[in-house]
């Protein structure tokens, strides 16, 4: 196995190219689209968590800097970012339920139906959430 | 009526030149197969083109390639199913396996993982008719059987995880282990197979993209078999946790 790995390293596809392939669902089927969506939303949520912690640290700076952030948070561009964040949460969370069940052998034959159903739920909730965000 | 089709072929030689694509405009019959066209390119246009094939009827699994970005057995992929008259067909080697030259990949790592799975395709005889009722005998899984696997490597090429973890056993080997665990034969040690599958380069590396099952030319459905094995491993772990061992 080890000597084989050495052999593979000599002329296999580069690792960066293989990572790019994670995000390339062209010509693929629904399971791959679900995989790509989960990867993208997962990375997005991790980035959001980091930003969130940075923003919360403004509280330690003082009242003025926090108020400035709150004014920024009410701008239309940030509200759009909020809707994108909700979309990421819904897609990752609901698809995560499907992945957990299927990954443990439950409902494997119906994984495509489950994906469509859960993404339909995500879309409905997202439309409602976007309406609440912009009408608040 | 013949079609004029451009075949865009991936080219790679181990002489330091960069991989590139060569385009060969050739005349084909629409119901010919992609492998027929590749063979004609080799015979009439470029004798340096390297590819692999053998049986021409989907029994050997040697001619797996990517056709327009999707894994296919080229001997059973008709040209009319992937393009139209005047169109272009891109033919590339399988992914996630080392390219030796042009369309030829080195299958050694794939076969070595299949060997680790210790799959034995010889099974006990299956009666076609139940002698007591004179009715066709019921088979446990008549449609999906790993015994139909061609070992073509197409599932590994389609798997997004196989590209980033060279030690990942891959869909075919894990599905083979599931079959051997489900129906042990030839004194294979089932517990050692379960140990092989139950680790970070085994069952738990799969991220359920299901592409292996989508592209499998034999409809073996390796993803479903892997998930079934995961379930069994998990049930065994839970039983052990509560002091009960499965038989």
Q: Which pTM was predicted?
A: 0.85
- Tokens 């009439």 map to which residue? B44
pLDDT given at position A66: 87
Nearest to B98 by CA among B19, B203, B39: B19
pLDDT at B207 over 50: yes
pLDDT given at position B166: 87
Compare all CA atoms of chain A with the CA of B112 and give the residue at the minimum distance. Answer: A1
The SS3 of residue B8 is: strand
Q: Distances from the Cα of B49 to the Cαs of B24, B100, B104, B119, in angstroms?
A: 12, 12, 9, 34
End-to-end CA distance of chain A: 60
CB spacing of B231 vs A106 below 8 angstroms: yes
Compare all CA atoms of chain A with the CA of B109 and give the residue at the minimum distance. Answer: A4
Q: How many Å lie between the alpha carbon of A57 and the closest alpha carbon of chain B?
A: 35
CB spacing of A29 vs B160 below 8 angstroms: no
Q: What are phi and psi of A14, to 5 degrees?
A: -65, 150
Class of domain B108-241: mainly alpha
The CATH classification number of A30-135 equals 1.20.1300.10
Q: How many Å lie between the alpha carbon of A49 and the closest alpha carbon of chain B?
A: 23
pLDDT given at position A13: 62
Residues in chain B within 8 Å Cβ distance of A15: 164
Instruction: Please state the domain extents for chain A.
Output: 30-135
CB spacing of B109 vs A4 below 8 angstroms: yes
Residues in chain A within 8 Å Cβ distance of B97: 12
More confident: A10 or B182: B182
CB spacing of B160 vs A21 below 8 angstroms: yes
B238 near A CB under 8 A? no
pLDDT band per the 50, 70, 90 thresholds, residue B122: low
Nearest to B177 by CA among B165, B161, B200, B194: B194
pLDDT given at position B92: 96
Residues in chain A within 8 Å Cβ distance of B111: none
pLDDT one-digit tens code per residue, A18-27? 788 888 888 8
Q: What is the mean pLDDT of chain B?
A: 90
Query: What is the location of CATH 1.10.1060.10 in chain B?
Result: 108-241
HSE of B155 in the Cβ direction (CA atoms, 13 Å)?
32
Nearest to B114 by CA among B59, B33, B54, B193: B193
Count, residues in chain A: 136
Compare all CA atoms of chain A with the CA of B234 and give the residue at the minimum distance. Answer: A104
pLDDT one-digit tens code per residue, B236-247? 888 888 886 554
The CATH classification number of B3-105 equals 3.10.20.30
Looking at A101-105, B180-184, B215-219, which range is the least confident one? Answer: B180-184
CA distance B61 to B74: 10
Q: How many Å lie between the alpha carbon of A93 and the closest alpha carbon of chain B?
A: 15
Looking at B27-36, B103-112, B136-145, B170-179, which range is the least confident one? Answer: B136-145
pLDDT one-digit tens code per residue, A11-20? 456 677 778 8
CB spacing of B164 vs A34 below 8 angstroms: no
């Amino acid at each position: 196995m080890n000597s084989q790995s050495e052999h593979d390293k000599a002329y296999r596809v580069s690792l960066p190219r293989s990572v790019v392939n994670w995000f390339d669902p062209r010509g693929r089927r629904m399971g791959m689209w679900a995989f790509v969506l989960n990867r993208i939303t997962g990375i997005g949520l991790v980035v959001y968590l980091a930003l969130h912690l940075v923003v919360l640290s403004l509280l330690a700076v003082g009242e003025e800097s926090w108020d400035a952030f709150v004014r920024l948070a009410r701008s239309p561009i940030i509200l759009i970012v909020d809707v994108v964040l909700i979309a990421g949460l819904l897609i990752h969370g609901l698809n995560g339920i499907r992945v957990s069940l299927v990954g443990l052998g439950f409902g494997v034959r119906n994984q495509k139906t489950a994906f469509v159903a859960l993404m339909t739920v995500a879309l409905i909730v997202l439309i409602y959430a976007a309406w609440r965000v912009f009408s608040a | 009526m013949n079609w004029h089709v451009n075949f865009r072929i991936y080219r790679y030689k181990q002489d330091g030149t960069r991989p590139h694509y060569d385009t060969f405009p050739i005349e084909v019959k629409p119901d010919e197969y992609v492998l027929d066209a590749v063979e004609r390119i080799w015979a009439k246009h470029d004798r340096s083109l390297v590819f692999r094939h053998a049986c021409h009827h989907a029994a050997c699994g040697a001619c797996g390639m990517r056709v327009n970005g999707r894994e296919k057995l080229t001997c059973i992929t008709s040209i009319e199913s992937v393009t139209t008259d005047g169109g272009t067909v891109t033919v590339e080697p399988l992914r996630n396996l080392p390219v030796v030259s042009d369309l030829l990949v080195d299958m050694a790592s794939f076969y070595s993982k299949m060997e680790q799975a210790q799959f034995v395709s010889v099974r006990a005889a299956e009666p076609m008719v139940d002698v007591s009722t004179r009715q066709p005998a019921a088979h446990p899984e008549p449609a999906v059987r790993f015994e139909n696997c061609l070992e073509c490597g197409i599932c590994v090429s389609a798997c997004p995880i196989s590209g980033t973890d060279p030690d990942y056993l891959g869909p075919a080997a894990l599905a083979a282990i599931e079959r051997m665990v489900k129906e042990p034969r030839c004194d294979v040690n089932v517990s050692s197979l379960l140990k092989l599958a139950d680790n970070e380069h085994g069952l738990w590396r799969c991220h359920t993209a299901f592409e292996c099952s989508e592209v499998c030319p034999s409809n073996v459905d390796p993803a479903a078999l892997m998930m079934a094995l995961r379930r069994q491993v998990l049930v065994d772990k839970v039983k052990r946790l509560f002091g009960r061992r499965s038989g």
